[in-house]
Chain A
Amino acid sequence: MSETPLARIRNIGITAHIDAGKTTTTERILYYTGVSYKIGEVHEGNTTTDYMEQERERGITITSAAVTCEWKGNRINIIDTPGHIDFNIEVNRSLRVLDGAVFIIEGVAGVQPQSETNWRLADRYNVPRVIFINKLDRTGADFFRAFATLKDKLDIVALPLQLPIGIEDKFEGVVDLIEMKAIIWEGGELGAKYHDAPIPADLLEQAKEYRQNLLDTALSVDDAAMEEYFEHGDVGIETLKRCIKAGTITGVFRPVLCGTAFKNKGVQPLLDAVVDYLPSPVDVPGIKIAAEEGEDETAERRRIKADPAAPFAGLAFKIINDKYGTLTFVRVYSGTLRSGDSVLNTTKSHRERIGRMFQMHADKRAEIKEVSAGDIAAFVGLKDTGTGDTLAANEDPVVLERMAFPVPVIDISVEPRNKESIEKMSLGLQKLASEDPSLRLRTDQETGQTILSGMGELHLEIIIDRLKREYNVEANIGAPQVAYRETISRPHTEIYTHKKQSGGSGQYAEVKIVFEPLDRNSGVVFENKVVGGSVPKEYIPAVEKGIRVQAESGVLAGFPTVDFKYTLVDGKYHDVDSSALAFEIAAKACFRDGMKKAAPIILEPVMDVEITTPQDHVGDVVGDINRRRGMIQNQESSGSTVIVRAHVPLKEMFGYISDLRSMTKGRASFTMQFHHYDPVPRNIAEEIMAKSA
């Protein structure tokens, strides 16, 4: 696919809080780069990247969509991501494979919670970013206030490359601080026509001050540029752009541009900034290979550099199942691959044959015969490759750094309405889960119900809707439940002997297991410390499996047990009567008995809640949060509104939106996202246990 030189490829994501204008900006980009002949609008349900029925009906982005465009001789692969926290997995996996990102910040509200969450994700993956302060045409928009939130909330060195000319309905263009000129949009041809002009006199002094700040900050990353400055009292545009690019890639500062995508102003300079300051695949240090087991995750390891002639290495980051089969999206980091080639799935240690390959344009596809380093493409024909798996050449079977997935916090039960739907539902759910690593499926061992765990009510609602529309499954859905977890709070050692004689060969296994609590988010860890063969090697996996299976159903209320370590320290076996099954049964029983003695507790998800309310309702809102067992973190005034931040148990947040609306006459709004798991108070734990009994 890559006829474009690597240095002229940009793989970027567009990310922001919900409704900040990601899809609207993407639409303008596609129009100005000539990919679309008309601009789609989110509110009209006809945008390119929101192609799912649910996206068009609801006016929100649910799944990330890849599109490609050309700008001034450069190929830009763009992934438009969702803003709603329930679909954060899409942002997560996109940022993981992209070389750069455009962060869109709302010009009225500034940095909002989801922008902060996505920013931290981009930090985790070291993604260079440019910031676009959008919606400057809106009533209440203020570039400088939004700019100030960048420092306050993200703690970054934000570097303005532009200043707005006019604001709200008077916004007409920007001052370009690099070339010290004004860029004015003419209003016609959907923003495609604009012209350069002298900087308006009333902005000249301010522009000079900001340009000096630009020079001070940008040149500090390049000694040769400093020397040029000392010699001439200024630097050339190319030197300045080189410095801005270097600072952007290293993250020393973050360039800031501005405009209003909806009113078609500011998007073309943003495209210039993407090309000028965000890295091509050869400008980044390369992707790290994964740490070996037991190796320090943070240690420096070998990196795979973008080189089409090197052995192939790519990362599968997204799966889509549609009527034509399974499409696996792959970011190619090195090498070249042709359709029909075979590669190793090094994560799962098996071979995969590449059938057909496509360049994706949202839901449309164009077949290609070859992909190489720097490309993003979709493969058909992979049998068992999931999100986060590495595909690599035989001669260098590397495993690339894995992806981290968010923790689901809400459960619902689903049951097929009729016999015909049983198989269809199982197949449909498996396919949906294979597409979405933030969706988990399990079977409740006591009720036999299928439990879906997801990121929020909206996430699960969309999954059920897709199950119905795409797989034609009629199902009975239980009310959303909090995804409680169980854990232990003190160590305990348990010995269990499983002995059964029922004619013929019997069953015999004895295990001695130490159960210990771990820190939150540590998962379940197994260690084998058996010495002298008291439990033969071939039975160890059965013990590990027995506990893992049983941990799915905790001893208090049947919720999955997490954050504990179990160490097999001893045991006994019988030459004739022992088997893997006997050891698995013994391990399960040992878990059931041992956990009860290790001070088990129930954990509940606690959400980070941000409520924006008019000043006169703050008292009601805060009082209500306290009644919901919430802990107020802080309050911040912004004009006539107050932003209240609190940590509130998810259990208390069901139906909150209607209570908040009635409390504030519909004038307040809120967002929430998962923050951490905390033990539930004793009275609530008893309530939960009574309900499960």
Chain B
Amino acid sequence: MQEPRLHWMRGQAIEEAGAARALEWIGLDDAGEPIARVVRILGPVSAGWRHYRAVALDTEARVVQLRPPPPEGAFWLACVGGRVVGRAALPLQAVRRVEAALGD
């Protein structure tokens, strides 16, 4: 098993079935600087009369609409800096996308 190159820590969370679940995992470099994140895609959500198929939280916990919506089965976004480098069904798969992107 290949060990992760970044140091990953829990980021923003949401309460689900009475327990806090991570909505975000943050990848830190050796200097402890956050340089990447994997973030859970939420949706569909409605806000007033508006309806969003897919949203995610940005680094400042603002809700961002994803356009076009991610393909079926993609529940996590892999981001390096502000750039989306991949999508995945599971958080660990998204982490590997980030690390692969950093290795390129």
- A216: B residues at CB distance < 8 A: 90, 92-93
CB distance from B103 to the nearest CB of A (A): 16
Q: Does A227 contact B (CB under 8 A)?
A: yes
Q: How far is the CA of A234 from the CA of B3 in the complex (A)?
A: 8
Closest to B17 in A: A250
Checking A208, A211, A226, A232 against B92 with a beta-carbon cut-off of 8 angstroms, the contacting residue is A226
Assuming the contacts A223-B21, A226-B22, asked whether A234 and B90 have C-beta atoms less than 8 A apart, the reply is no
Contact B92 A233 (CB under 8 A): no
Within 8 A of B (CB), among A217-239: 217, 219-220, 223, 226-227, 229-230, 232-234
Per-position 1/0 for B15-27, Cβ under 8 A of A: 0000011100100
Closest to B3 in A: A233
Q: How far is the CA of A159 from the CA of B25 in the complex (A)?
A: 24
Closest to A180 in B: B1
- B92: A residues at CB distance < 8 A: 215-216, 219-220, 226, 229
Number of A-B contacts (CB under 8 A): 37
Q: Does A430 contact B (CB under 8 A)?
A: no
Q: Does A139 contact B (CB under 8 A)?
A: no
Within 8 A of B (CB), among A163-221: 208, 211-212, 215-217, 219-220
Contact B10 A227 (CB under 8 A): yes
Contact B7 A230 (CB under 8 A): yes
Contact A233 B2 (CB under 8 A): yes
CB distance from A678 to the nearest CB of B (A): 33
Q: Does B86 contact A (CB under 8 A)?
A: no
Q: How far is the CA of A460 from the CA of B3 in the complex (A)?
A: 62
Checking B1, B21, B93 against A233 with a beta-carbon cut-off of 8 angstroms, the contacting residue is B1
Q: Sort chain B's interface into a size bin.
A: 10 to 19
Q: How far is the CA of A88 from the CA of B37 in the complex (A)?
A: 50
Per-position 1/0 for B63-77, Cβ under 8 A of A: 000000000000000
- B1: A residues at CB distance < 8 A: 208, 211-212, 215, 233-234
Q: How far is the CA of A232 from the CA of B93 in the complex (A)?
A: 17
Checking B2, B4, B91 against A220 with a beta-carbon cut-off of 8 angstroms, the contacting residue is B91
Contact B22 A230 (CB under 8 A): no
Assuming the contacts A212-B1, A233-B3, asked whether A223 and B90 have C-beta atoms less than 8 A apart, the reply is no
Closest to A232 in B: B3
Q: How far is the CA of A192 from the CA of B88 in the complex (A)?
A: 42
Most chain A beta-carbon contacts within 10 A, residue among B1, B25, B91, B93: B1
- B7: A residues at CB distance < 8 A: 230
CB distance from B32 to the nearest CB of A (A): 14
Q: How far is the CA of A38 from the CA of B91 in the complex (A)?
A: 48
Q: Does B8 contact A (CB under 8 A)?
A: yes
- A230: B residues at CB distance < 8 A: 4, 7-9
Q: How far is the CA of A223 from the CA of B92 in the complex (A)?
A: 11
- A226: B residues at CB distance < 8 A: 8, 10, 22, 25, 91-92
Contact B22 A223 (CB under 8 A): yes
- B93: A residues at CB distance < 8 A: 216
CB distance from A309 to the nearest CB of B (A): 24
Contact B90 A217 (CB under 8 A): yes
Per-position 1/0 for A330-360, Cβ under 8 A of B: 0000000000000000000000000000000
Closest to A220 in B: B90
- B90: A residues at CB distance < 8 A: 216-217, 220
Q: How far is the CA of A219 from the CA of B4 in the complex (A)?
A: 15
- B10: A residues at CB distance < 8 A: 223, 226-227
Q: How far is the CA of A321 from the CA of B33 in the complex (A)?
A: 73
Q: How far is the CA of A273 from the CA of B99 in the complex (A)?
A: 34
Q: How far is the CA of A232 from the CA of B4 in the complex (A)?
A: 9
Contact B4 A233 (CB under 8 A): yes
- B25: A residues at CB distance < 8 A: 226
CB distance from A224 to the nearest CB of B (A): 9
Closest to B10 in A: A223
Q: How far is the CA of A668 from the CA of B56 in the complex (A)?
A: 52
Within 8 A of A (CB), among B44-61: none
- B3: A residues at CB distance < 8 A: 232-233
Q: How far is the CA of A317 from the CA of B20 in the complex (A)?
A: 38
CB distance from A250 to the nearest CB of B (A): 8
Most chain B beta-carbon contacts within 10 A, residue among A208, A215, A220: A220
- A229: B residues at CB distance < 8 A: 92
CB distance from B87 to the nearest CB of A (A): 14
CB distance from B36 to the nearest CB of A (A): 13
Closest to B8 in A: A230
Closest to B76 in A: A220
Q: How far is the CA of A211 from the CA of B92 in the complex (A)?
A: 13
Q: How far is the CA of A233 from the CA of B91 in the complex (A)?
A: 15
Within 8 A of A (CB), among B82-104: 90-93
Most chain B beta-carbon contacts within 10 A, residue among A215, A216, A219: A216
Q: How far is the CA of A208 from the CA of B1 in the complex (A)?
A: 8
Q: How far is the CA of A232 from the CA of B22 in the complex (A)?
A: 19
Q: How far is the CA of A470 from the CA of B93 in the complex (A)?
A: 61
Q: How far is the CA of A229 from the CA of B2 in the complex (A)?
A: 11
Using a CB–CB cutoff of 8 Å, the interface residues on chain B facing chain A are: 1-4, 7-10, 20-22, 25, 90-93
- The 12 sampled A-B contact pairs (Cβ below 8 Å) are A211-B1, A212-B1, A215-B92, A216-B93, A217-B90, A220-B91, A223-B21, A226-B8, A226-B10, A226-B25, A230-B9, A233-B2
Q: Would you list the 10 A-B pairs with minimal beta carbon distance, nearest first?
A: A233-B3, A230-B8, A216-B92, A216-B90, A220-B90, A223-B22, A234-B1, A233-B1, A216-B93, A220-B91
A-B contacts besides A226-B8, A226-B91, A233-B1, 12 pairs, CB < 8 Å: A211-B1, A215-B1, A215-B92, A216-B90, A217-B90, A220-B90, A223-B21, A226-B25, A227-B9, A230-B4, A230-B7, A233-B2
